[in-house]
Amino acid sequence: MKLLLDRKKEYGVVLDGGGARGTYQIGAWKALKEAGIRIHAVAGTSVGALNGALICMDDLKKAQDIWKSMTFSKVMNVDDGWMEGLFEREHKVKDVLSQIWSVVTAGGIDVTPLKELIHELVDEEKIRQSGKEFYLLTFSLTDFKELDLGLEDIPEGRLEDFLLASAYLLGFKNEKMGGKRYIDGGVVNNVPLGSLVKRGCKDIIEIRIYGPGREPRVKLPEDAQIYRIGPRVRLGSILEFDGRKSRQNMKIGYYDAKRMLYGLEGLIYYIDQEHAEVWYENRTKHLSEIEKAELGLVLKLKPGVSDKLLYLAMLEAGAKLMKVPKYHIYTVDELREQVAKRYEEQADQTELPGFMHTLIRIERDSKMNLKGRNFLTLKDFTPEEITYLIDLAADLKEKKKKGIPVDHYRGKNVALIFEKTSTRTRCAFEVAAHDMGMGTTYLDPSGSQIGKKESIEDTARVLGRMFDGIEYRGYGQEIVEDLAKYAGVPVWNGLTNEYHPTQMLADMLTVREHLEHLKGVKFVYMGDARYNMGNSLMVTCAKLGMDFVACTSKKYFPNEELVDYCKKVAAGTGASITLTEDVAEGTKDADVIYTDVWVSMGEPDEVWAERLRDLMPYQVNKAAMANAKPTAIFMHCLPAFHDLKTKIGKEVYEKFGYSELEVTDEVFESEQSVVFDEAENRMHTIKAVMLATLGE
């Protein structure tokens, strides 16, 4: 997940009042700490002031422990059993009224326990020395004046008194402090945002619990940025000081903070949404507009919502119905798998609402029916779908070997857009298309106006009206995503800077042919793991339950966001993700050792010099292969610089003195090398992708 806040900045935190609901704020604080968010100022009122003091003390464990074990009698001089019965509605009305009357006649609820709790919790010296600014709000009844107090305004030794003063709810027995009476600051200002704004704080996090009280409007500077964490469910009464309720609210606060920090989607659930809009369009495209409108009414959605919002609403409603646990961060794929699994376990599915059946039908139709789907990255495909494509490729390969034609697509045509030229990719697409009876049109940089006179969007809309499918090989992933968005026909990624999905299918088919299985295979990638091959292999291994190892210098590790995504996927498939700079550790007992070229053509000499210097320790040589299993195979997506039989190879040797780069000729030409099986399998797997997405 990508953090939306800047760890380099320091933030002010605003904590409103809300009595027992305050435990929510401690859960949110935990998430902020875990994310590495730096807090330099805190402003709070009522329970928010007390929690603010705990934040300044920076003792999360202490705060959690006290709230987890919270009882009514730790705040008020009451009987816990009677109060629990009150909130469970076990008492008769006349008994409740009688108890209220006795409290009123006694001058209010005795909060001596709260005073003692504050004394037990608060370390004034630690707060004053924390380096954090701390402000609390209360209201002086004696002076009839709102007080916005910083530490410098509170006499030494009086902080506990003013924390209690800030929390004097109406109905509490109000005793004088320092000769004056106070009431809860939330009565006049329950959201002390202005307390930080007027002191120049511009990056502010509000942790809201929506207690009763006044919320004055605050004029913000133009460059101010407010981030709000707030509940979407009821947190209970402000007087419900119950340990069980506190633990629940703390959990809600924790996940709600993560929703804000990482931009999680979902109204009920916490969803790390990775799919492009087109993924949802493909999933719902078989629903008529009438069906979509009816589903929207049932799910209480606004008319005309996007396919994405419609699908997510169905998914969340289905998850709630199937009692999938809420307090967990799911990917869309994880959540729908949970829903589908629990649906299948239902003894009587006929009693379920219609939207539930529609959702499952969508899942079943899309699981192995890939017609109309784009093939842009394997992140968009489930393990079952990837395995299906590998199986289909193996079947098509067998049929070709036996001379059994699979030419159902006579009369269809595909466009092959190559902004980067390639031998294997072009030949694989052309042979695959011709085998299936299709015509092909090859468009290289000199043969089209793409990006020069015609935008990607316009190109997509033109070609989509002429061709039945479009392949793209070139630069940024956003280009192929735009093609897919506007084309209206399946688009296939032949390679971008970020992903190389067709190569992945060829690689996995090759591994399975030689090792007879995929799950549990230790797959080691050596070299520069930051781009399409490293990215794609890591995603694919995670999806298929394999043990992926990136063995390279730390500066060439894959980006953290993608590593986090793959680790999350791996947790559900039994895979593992390892990044190491140690060749001996990385290659030990490997089943597969894989590498790719280190430098792209056209890059300057200084880049060549840097890469060669950094990556030469990660060359795949005899020693690396010897450290792997005896049955290990060597793989390379080609072309490979393993000798001096190429123009570029000779130039590199003349400039830098290396006759072999990412792999030695000895390994490349060894019996363990399966590189030409991979090259052949590109064609069979590409044929499978086209057949599956075009449909029979």
Indicate which residues carry an active-site annotation. 473, 500, 503, 596, 637, 682
Helix (H, G, I), strand (E, B) or coil at 419: coil
Distance CA 334, CA 573 (A): 11
Sequence-ordered list of residues with C-beta below 8 angstroms from that of 7, at least 6 positions apart, any chain: 35, 36, 37, 38
Region of 174 please: left (phi>0), alpha (psi -120 to 50) or beta: beta
What is the DSSP code (8-state) at residue 414? E
> Nearest to residue 694, comparing CAs of 421, 471, 378, 377?
471
Q: Which run of H or of E encompasses 536?
A: helix 532-543
Whether 695 contacts 531, CB under 8 Å? no
Burial class (CB in 10 A: 0-12, 13-18, 19+), 294: middle
Q: What angle do CA 228, 232, 238 make, to 5 degrees?
A: 90
Sequence-ordered list of residues with C-beta below 8 angstroms from that of 160, at least 6 positions apart, any chain: 115, 118, 119, 122, 124
Strands 182-184 and 133-140: antiparallel
Task: Classify each residue of 594-618 as buried b or exposed e, where b means 16 or more C-beta atoms within 10 Å of its C-beta.
Answer: bbbbbbeeeeeeeebeebbebbeeb
Cis? peptide before 639, omega within 30° of 0: yes
Sequence-ordered list of residues with C-beta below 8 angstroms from that of 222, at least 6 positions apart, any chain: none
Q: CA Rg, the chain, in Å?
A: 32
Q: Which run of H or of E encompasses 522?
A: strand 522-526
- How many Cβ atoms sit within 10 Å of the Cβ of residue 358? 18
Helix (H, G, I), strand (E, B) or coil at 441: strand
